[in-house]
C-alpha cells in the first residue's frame, strides 16, 4: 500500500494531469479569461502535478 514505485509512468501521469487541468482552463476561458492565460495556468498545473507525483 505504501510501497514507493521506483518506475513511475510519466506519460500517464502527464496525461491525467493534462485532462484535469484542461477542464479548469476550459472553464476559465468560458468565463471570459484570455486563452493564453488559461494555457499558462494549464502548463503550470501540469508541471506542479508532475513534480508532486515524482517526489511524493
Domain ranges of the chain: 10-55
pLDDT at residue 2 is higher than 70: no
CA 12 to chain centre: 11
Sequence-ordered alpha helix ranges (H) in the chain: 10-30, 35-55
pLDDT of residue 29: 94
Give the tens place of pLDDT for each residue, 18-55: 999 999 999 999 999 999 999 999 999 999 999 998 88
pLDDT of residue 53: 86
Amino acid at each position: 500500500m505504501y510501497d514507493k514505485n521506483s518506475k513511475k509512468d510519466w506519460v500517464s501521469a502527464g496525461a491525467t494531469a493534462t485532462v484535469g487541468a484542461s477542464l479548469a482552463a476550459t472553464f476559465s476561458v468560458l468565463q471570459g479569461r484570455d486563452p493564453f492565460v488559461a494555457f499558462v495556468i494549464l502548463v503550470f498545473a501540469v508541471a506542479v502535478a508532475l513534480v508532486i507525483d515524482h517526489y511524493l
